[in-house]
């Protein structure tokens, strides 16, 4: 059993967090992941407070184990959800798209563990100063809204910048990703042995959990991820200032075409993107949906229960960590 600072901090069995994915991370998925020993997150995204409250109640009815809520701080309902999490006794909050500073005292007083998602070492430091218990450093390989740095470059720099636990996200969907992120030791050789020890104490995965049996994502979405190869994602929205990684389709082609025009037609762009995640997750509209997925989609090749995904990830990681140097033919003279 792999125990790390993260399993200790959150009281969970395995150092795996299921990312808080808009429209995908509902109460059933979060509860299934928590039941399986990871940390499931409910993705609040832009949902109103009462909807999130119902999801929290539902998750509580499905598992007695800790689960969390991902709050998108730019949501117009962020204040409500911040308060509801306290009232409902939520154990963990992860945050994205902003600074959670104004809620920190309330959350800490309630004993909530606060884990912001960060795309840079500077932001990680700011979050540590604001009182965060850990940070999720998310690389640009991830599905969904992204920053610029790759997981490989980001994690060791964040790990050096802060003393709170660091969780790696982006591009992790099998034991090699887990081992790369959390394998201890060889710290000073990270430049050389980066793939062996990036310096995180846990991982957050998104894309692989879209394909969990319990995920509400449309069958078309799951199939598209399973069929994807390594080069099948693309980033749209760089020109509009909100880059999103998703699977290539008719919509991404038309968005990129708009982005490459001399002046961005924001109205036309908006018209195509509004509601497009819903079209992907709920309707499975292969042409007009935004199928958020990470570069690791090419490695995700089956739809399975969350418990099977987590168990395989952890069993393989244990074996790999035990045999890493030998298996890779690495010798240290």
* Residues in touch with ligand FMN (CB under 6 A): 19-22, 24, 43, 45, 70, 72, 96, 117, 138, 141-144, 169-172, 204-207, 210, 292-294, 296
Q: Which is nearer to ligand FMN, 2 or 178 (CB)?
A: 178
Taking the complex as a whole, how short is the minimal distance between the CB of residue 246 and ligand FMN, in angstroms?
A: 8
Which one, 99 or 325, has the nearer CB to ligand FMN?
A: 99
Q: For ligand FMN, give the closer residue by CB, 72 or 198.
A: 72
CB of 18 to ligand FMN, least distance (A): 8
Specify the residue, 76 or 268, whose C-beta has the smaller distance to ligand FMN: 76
**Least Cβ distance, residue 185 to ligand FMN (angstroms):** 25
Of the two residues 144 and 202, which places its CB atom closer to ligand FMN in the complex? 144
- Closest residue to ligand FMN, Cβ-based? 206
> How many other C-beta atoms lie within 10 A of the C-beta of residue 32?
26
Q: How far is the CB of 204 from ligand FMN (least distance, A)?
A: 5
Instruction: Answer left, alpha or beta for residue 297, where phi above 0 means left and psi between -120 and 50 means alpha.
Output: alpha
Q: Which two tokens stand for residue 45?
A: 């995204």
Nearer to ligand FMN, 191 or 241 (CB): 241
Least Å distance, CB 244 to ligand FMN, is 9
Question: Minimum CB separation from ligand FMN for residue 236, in Å?
Answer: 14
CB of 268 to ligand FMN, least distance (A): 24
Q: Is 193 or 208 the residue whose CB approaches ligand FMN more closely?
A: 208
The full 3-state SS of the chain, as one line of letters, equals CCCCHHHHHHCCCCCEEECCCCCCCCHHHHHHHHHCCCEEEEECCCCCHHHHHHHHHHHHHHCCCCEEEEEECCCCCHHHHHHHHHHCCCCEEEEECCCHHHHHHHHHHCCCEEEEEECCHHHHHHHHHCCCCCEEEECCCCCEECCCCCHHHHHHHHHHHCCCCEEEECCCCCHHHHHHHHCCCCHHHHHHHCCCCCCCCEEEECHHHHCECCCCCCHHHHHHHHHCCCCCEEEECCCCCCCEEEECCHHHHHHHHHHHCCCCCHHHHHHHHCCHHHHHHHHCCCCCCCCECCHHHHHCCCCECHHHHHHHHHHHHHHHHHHHHHHCCCCCC
Q: Which is nearer to ligand FMN, 7 or 207 (CB)?
A: 207
CB of 298 to ligand FMN, least distance (A): 11
Task: Give the residue with the Cβ less far from ligand FMN, 7 or 75.
Answer: 75
From residue 244, give the alpha-carbon distance in Å to each of 94, 209, 259, 285.
19, 18, 13, 18
Closest separation in Å from C-beta 147 to ligand FMN? 11
Q: Cα torsion at 60, 62, 136, 300 (round to 10°)?
A: -160
Give the residues across from 43 on adjacent strands: 70
Closest CA to 45 of 120, 135, 145: 145
């Amino acid at each position: 059993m792999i125990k790390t600072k993260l399993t200790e901090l959150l009281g969970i069995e395995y150092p795996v967090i299921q990312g808080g994915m808009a429209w995908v991370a509902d109460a059933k998925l979060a509860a299934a992941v928590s039941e399986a020993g990871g940390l499931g997150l409910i993705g609040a995204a832009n949902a109103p407070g009462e909807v999130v409250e119902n999801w929290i109640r539902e998750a509580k009815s499905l598992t007695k184990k800790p689960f969390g809520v991902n709050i998108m701080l730019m949501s117009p309902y962020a204040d409500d959800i911040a308060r509801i999490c306290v009232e409902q006794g939520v154990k963990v909050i992860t945050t994205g798209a902003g600074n959670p500073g104004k809620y920190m005292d309330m959350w800490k007083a309630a004993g909530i563990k606060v884990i912001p998602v960060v795309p840079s070492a500077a932001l990680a430091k700011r979050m540590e100063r604001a009182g965060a218990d850990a940070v999720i450093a998310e690389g640009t390989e991830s599905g969904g809204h992204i920053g610029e740095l790759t997981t490989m470059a980001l994690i060791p720099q964040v790990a050096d910048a802060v003393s709170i636990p660091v969780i790696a996200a982006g591009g992790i969907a099998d034991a090699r990703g887990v081992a790369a992120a959390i394998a201890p030791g060889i710290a000073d050789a990270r430049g050389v042995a980066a793939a062996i020890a990036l310096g995180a104490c846990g991982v957050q995965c998104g894309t692989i959990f879209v394909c969990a049996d319990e995920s509400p994502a449309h069958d078309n979405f799951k199939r598209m991820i399973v069929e994807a190869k390594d080069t099948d994602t693309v980033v749209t929205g760089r020109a509009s200032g909100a880059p999103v990684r998703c699977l290539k389709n008719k919509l991404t082609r038309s968005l990129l075409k708009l982005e490459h025009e001399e002046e961005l037609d924001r109205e036309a762009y908006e018209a195509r993107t509004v509601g497009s995640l819903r079209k992907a997750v709920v309707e499975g509209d292969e042409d007009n949906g935004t199928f958020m997925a990470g570069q690791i989609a090419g490695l995700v090749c089956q739809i399975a229960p969350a418990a099977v995904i987590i168990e395989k990830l952890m069993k393989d990681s244990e074996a790999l960590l035990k045999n890493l140097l030998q298996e890779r033919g690495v010798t240290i003279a």
